[in-house]
Amino acid sequence: MSLVAVDKKKVWSGGQSPFNLSYGKIMMWYFLMSDAFTFGAFLISYGTTRFFSNVWPDANEVFASFPWLAPNGGAPMAFVSLMTFILIISSVTMVLAVHAGHCRDKNGVIKWMIWTILGGIAFLSCQAWEWTHLYHHGAWWGSFRTMADGSIAHGASLAHFFSHNVPPDVATGVAGADAAHKFFNFFFTITGFHGAHVASGVVLNIILLLNTINGTYERRGHYEMVEKIGLYWHFVDLVWVFVFTCFYLL
């Protein structure tokens, strides 16, 4: 790092970037930091509600289906593990695109961006399947509310959401319905907010790919835009790491 040799006072006296970064990249970092607090607030409110509840759905029971292979359960965690793996791989192809950009290797950037976009679309498709699957079991925003007459819409599904040590009458009763109601409100809100980030990331990646093909960055003399969009894409993967832990593991 050339800055190390420079007198510390001179680093801040103008004529150079003290952080050795462009304005755009620094601002992307600070945007991501603020976004981390938004996601953090979501996940912590999920945790608070969970600590506040007597019973809570077991992720191994709720997320146990796999398209075609196990559409009616019996494969706990399998599908979400696949989704996690897809997102990790798309993060890897993104960092390879960033690396190709450092080398000013236009074809390399194009190749790895195409893989990254495919990974993002694959992840969103998986999420669409999972949401649809849960919706058909009665889970949605505001679902499993206890009515004034004591009945619960789709109440029969509740028995499948809880661990073996939760008595069936508790799981299908008011306590179970209330916990599932909160659980799915948080689940759809948080994975939805994350999915919106993935979707906008895919759009940004497509714009990036088109600009690369058009030679915009070649003419500009650098591929820094790949790094900036790359930061956003890695952040989306980073958030999923925490969503995965909070919703599926803990």
Q: Give 152's strand partners.
A: 146
Q: Of 133 and 182, which has the nearer Cβ to another protein?
A: 182
- Told to check if 72 binds another protein by CB under 8 A, we report no
Helix (H) or strand (E) holding 203: helix 174-214
Pick from 27, 31, 52, 135 the residue near another protein by CB under 8 A.
52
How is residue 76 annotated by DSSP? T
Does residue 80 contact residue 65 with C-beta atoms inside 8 Å?
Answer: no
Site string for another protein, 109-148 (x = CB under 8 A): ----------------------------------------
Interface of this chain with another protein, residues 154 to 213, rule: CB under 8 A: 164-165, 174-175
Sign of the torsion formed by the C-alpha atoms of 5, 228, 128 and 158: positive
Pick from 35, 70, 73, 92 the residue near another protein by CB under 8 A.
92
Interface of this chain with another protein, residues 27 to 46, rule: CB under 8 A: 29-30, 33, 36-37, 40-41, 44-45
Three-state DSSP class for 22?
coil
Burial of residue 20 (number of CB atoms within 10 Å: 0-12, 13-18, 19+): exposed
Minimum distance from residue 52 beta carbon to another protein (Å): 4
Pick from 35, 49, 204, 206 the residue near another protein by CB under 8 A.
49
Pick from 6, 17, 168, 196 the residue near another protein by CB under 8 A.
17
What is the spatial distance between Cα 92 and Cα 182, in angstroms, rounded to a whole number? 34
How is residue 23 annotated by DSSP? H
Minimum distance from residue 113 beta carbon to another protein (Å): 15
Pick from 147, 207, 213, 249 the residue near another protein by CB under 8 A.
249
Which range in 92-100, 129-137, 145-153, 196-204 contacts another protein by CB under 8 A? Answer: 92-100
φ, ψ at 146 (rounded to 5°):
-85, 125
Please report the beta strands in 136-244, taking only residues with DSSP state E, as ranges in sequence order: none
Q: What radius of gyration do the chain's Cα atoms show?
A: 23
Minimum distance from residue 21 beta carbon to another protein (Å): 6
Residue 114 CB partners (closer than 8 Å, separation 6+): 209
Interface of this chain with another protein, residues 206 to 245, rule: CB under 8 A: 221-224, 227, 230-231, 234-235, 237-238, 241-242, 244-245
Pick from 13, 15, 31, 139 the residue near another protein by CB under 8 A.
15
What is the spatial distance between Cα 26 and Cα 50, in angstroms, rounded to a whole number? 36
Residues touching another protein, count (CB under 8 A): 75
